[in-house]
Amino acid sequence: MEKKVTSHVTKGLILALVLIVVDVAATVLNIKYETWFKWLPTLFFCIVIIWACINYANQMDNNVTFGNVFVHGFKTSAVIACIMVLYVILSIFVLFPDQIDKVLDVARKQMEEKNLPESNIDQGIAFTKKLYVPFAIGGAVIGSLLVGAIASLIGGAIAKKNPPSPFQQQA
């Protein structure tokens, strides 16, 4: 009987759903823009991609190469990135339409703490408001793929590998 390997699509769907639940909970609890919370989803994302790589190698009885493990992790990251783009669009326009105003309020407070002139603050807020949606979508794609690539590299390096020799004859 052949061992069943969990596909990168299945892992990506499950992990993306967990990230979405965490984001929705953070938004509802008003902790999404807290300093301590900002890096928590990224840390979780890294850990689960590394886990996905190690799990894949184990499911393949460690008969994998670094490249196999890396590609599996990166494909999982790509699935997550696609789902997160859909979620970002949905959250901005349907689930949390007031999210842009909250982001602008946080940005204004940060600029005021730096004692910037009011004209500069107004310009920055106008710029942020105009480009918020493209930056949010781009951030979801680039952030997921960049963090996913780094985590996949780590996962590929950590996973136990026992690749078959290309010179062995298969019986």
- Model pTM? 0.82
Distance CA 30, CA 156 (A): 36
Which tens digit of pLDDT belongs to each residue from 55-98? 999 998 888 899 999 999 999 999 999 999 999 999 989 988 88
In this predicted structure, the answer to whether residue 163 has a pLDDT above a threshold of 80 is: no
The pLDDT assigned to 34 comes to 80
- What amino acid is encoded at 139 in this protein? G
How does residue 1 score in pLDDT terms, banded at 50, 70 and 90? very low
- Map residue 36 onto helix, strand or coil: coil
Look up residue 119 and give its two tokens. 């004209």
